[in-house]
Amino acid sequence: MFRRIEARIVNPLLGAEVPLPSYATEGAAAMDLRACIEAPITLQPGGRVLVKSGLAINMMDPGLVAIVASRSGLSLKHGVRVAQGIGVIDADYHGEIGVILANDGEAPYVIEPGERIAQLMFQPVVQVGLQYVERFSIETERGEGGFGSTGRN
């Protein structure tokens, strides 16, 4: 169904109670990252915290990027999300993955050891060479229209 690529992980970083990330179903696009912490962390409303995952990866394919994304249920039910929208883990980064969580909710949220805190997804990367030009050689119907220009009138 999906193309499979191998990546290495550094196992000793994981706590004994924290299972390795895995795909929950055959059709899942992302794996759950868990909090690799010794004690609960309370995330106050409006607050941010860096939560260690206990996972370091070495992607064997330099044409990949790992993306850290919010878990929908955590965001909907508690207002807890990945703070910067998404986290980008470059192929040449081999350190531990940390997840910056933000609490947009109205109540404190307690992050428990081993709790699923984010999703980890792998995507192909294309690097683009930028070139300065005086003007664009191709005009489009949309042009410079943005911020709702193609939406409702």
Q: What are phi and psi of 140, to 5 degrees?
A: -125, 160
Q: Write out the binding residues for substrate.
A: 71-73, 84, 88-90
Helical (H) or strand (E) element with 9 = strand 7-9
Cβ 82 vs Cβ 100: under 8 Å:
yes
Residues 120, 54 contacting (CB under 8 angstroms): no
List residues forming the annotated binding site.
71-73, 84, 88-90
